[in-house]
Structures are given as C-alpha cells and as structure tokens.
Structure 1
Amino acid sequence: MPGTLRGAGPEHTFGPAAGRLMQIGEAADRVGLSIRTIRHYEDAGLVVPSARSEGGFRLYTDLDLDRLAVVKRMKPLGFTLDEMRDLLGVLDALPTASDDERPALLDRLAMFHAVAAARVAALREQLTTAEGFADTLRHQLDQHTGDSH
C-alpha cells in the first residue's frame, strides 16, 4: 500500500514507484559508504531515512540512496556540510519550482557546477604534480639500482 515518507527535502512516496525499503547496512553497501558515515549525514540533516521499521531500524529508498550518492560525490571536492545541504535543497526544489523560482534555482545550480568544475581542475593539476613526483622517484630508484622500467 503506497504512503508518504518524510525525509530531508520534499515528501517522498513509497511503493512500486520508489522501490523497496532497505536497512542501513544494505544502503551503505549499495552506495559505498560506511554505516557510521550515513548516520553522520543523517545527524547533519543531509539524508534522513524515509521510514523506520516497527523495530526502529532506519529504512532507505532508492531516492535516499540518490541523495547519499550526491553527498558522496561532493565530499572529495571539499564542499562543506552547509554547501551540501544547499545543493540538495536546490535539487529538491527544481522539479516543482514555479516559473518565478526557477531562474534563481538554476543560478544556484550553475554556481555549484562552476565550483565543482574548478575544484576538479585543481585536483587534476595536483594529480599531475603527484604523478611527476612519483616518476622522479622511479627515475632515481632506477638510476641507483641499475634497472630501467
């Protein structure tokens, strides 16, 4: 029987459209996060389980896992919890935004995109530097051991 679930952001419906409910361990496995990390994100208000079992276990939907995946992808780019919360709010609001609200939301989304792209570029530069350093060490190792790789 479909019903309404309350989560972080807009109300979600469950039933055939949202898929089955899963406990935190399965959610953690599917998203590639630890249970502890998911609980931390819940405490921070980023991702709230859509339901609780009669026994009090957290129950997650595929929509909840989508939110967790967004947070997981923002983390290595150095976004703060507040920035994550802000972006999730934008993503939650866009599908039902009025014509008046939509431009401001799209501006916020564009800002997040620009920041993410800049941070990716900076990480690529750091990776290039790190690879160059590793190559230098390999060269030094080869030079002093007589190997050539």
Structure 2
Amino acid sequence: MQIGEVAARTELSLRTIRHYEETGLVIPSARSQGGFRLYTDADVARLMLIRRMKPLGFTLDQMRDLLDITDRLDSGDSLEADEHQALLDRVRVYEQAAGEQVERLRVQLARAEEFAATLGTRLSAAAAPAPLRE
C-alpha cells in the first residue's frame, strides 16, 4: 500500500511517517516503478507499535531498541538460550517503564477530569438565576 493509505490506517501524518523513515524506525518494504513508497501489513504493524510508544514518552533511540528486540525475537532465527532470555529481559524493562508511565498518565487524567468538573460546576453556579431580593 502507498503512504497515504498507511497514514489513514495508522492515523499518522505523512510527515510523521516520513520522519520515522528518515530516522530508520520504519523502512518501506518496496518502491513502485514511479518511486512511491510501498508498505506491507508488517510495516503498518511496526508503525502502530511506534504510535503506541510515542505518548508514553519513549525516545527515538528507545523505540529503535525495542523494535530491534522484537525483530530479533520474531525473526524465526534460532537464538541461544542466554540471548533469548536477555532479549526478554530487555522487553520486561520496557514493559515496566510503560506501566509506570501509564500510571502517571492516569493521575494526570484524573486531575484534568477534576479540573474540568470544577469548571463545569462554576459555570452551572454562575448560570443559575440569582435569588430575588425583597
């Protein structure tokens, strides 16, 4: 599929996809005869993983590292037991970091919801008609 379809499927901008290509996070699987980038479902899955990492504050280097780990684990190549375990241990570090960031985001969201509710209450109180004075 071409980059426009990938952008629609991933909800990423063309610019963002090109940036991820420039930084080496995702490489189009092929080019058309006209030079257009062509992506596979695996490329889309890779972009979705990147998209999920971004709001958790992972750096491009961390994203690249995790993608390398998952590529090696998914390659089908036989890995030595120690190497396989080391890769899984690195994934666990990312899992823990993601969990910690999710918790921080939950706290931020709760505070934001409280703030929005406070504003709603203030608006409701201000919009209520004032009691009549005698």
* TM-score, normalising length: structure 1: 0.81
1:73 pairs with one of 40, 52, 55? 52
- The match for 1:3 is none
Task: Map 1:25-44; keep pairs closer than 5 Å.
Answer: 25-44=4-23
2:91 pairs with one of 61, 86, 109? 109
Letter in 2 for 1:143: A
Q: Deviations over 1:1-24 (max 9, x none)?
A: xxxxxxxxxxxxxxxxxxxxx111
Residue ranges of structure 1 left out of the alignment (5+ in a row): 1-21
Task: Provide the rounded CA distance (Å) in 2 between the counterparts of 1:93 and 1:118.
Answer: 25
- Secondary structure of the residue aligned to 1:71 is helix
Residue ranges of structure 2 left out of the alignment (5+ in a row): 130-134
Q: Which has the higher strand share?
A: 1
Q: Which runs of 4+ in 1 moved over 3 A?
A: none
- The match for 2:132 is none
Task: Provide the rounded CA distance (Å) in 2 between the counterparts of 1:141 and 1:31.
Answer: 38
- Secondary structure of the residue aligned to 2:38 is strand
- Secondary structure of the residue aligned to 2:34 is coil
Task: Provide the rounded CA distance (Å) in 1 between the counterparts of 2:80 and 2:40.
Answer: 26
Give, in angstroms, the shift of residue 141 of structure 1: 1.0
Q: Does 1:45 align with 2:27?
A: no
Larger Rg: 2
* TM-score, normalising length: structure 2: 0.90
Moved more, 41-50 or 91-100: 91-100
1:99 pairs with one of 74, 81, 96? 81
Give, in angstroms, the shift of residue 31 of structure 1: 1.2
Letter in 2 for 1:98: E
Task: Provide the rounded CA distance (Å) in 2 between the counterparts of 1:30 and 1:130.
Answer: 29
- The match for 1:57 is 36
Task: Provide the rounded CA distance (Å) in 2 between the counterparts of 1:45 and 1:120.
Answer: 26
Share of identical aligned residues, percent?
57
- Secondary structure of the residue aligned to 1:101 is helix
Give, in angstroms, the shift of residue 98 of structure 1: 2.9
Q: Which has the higher helix share?
A: 2
Q: What do you get for the CA RMSD once the two structures are aligned?
A: 1.1
Letter in 1 for 2:87: L
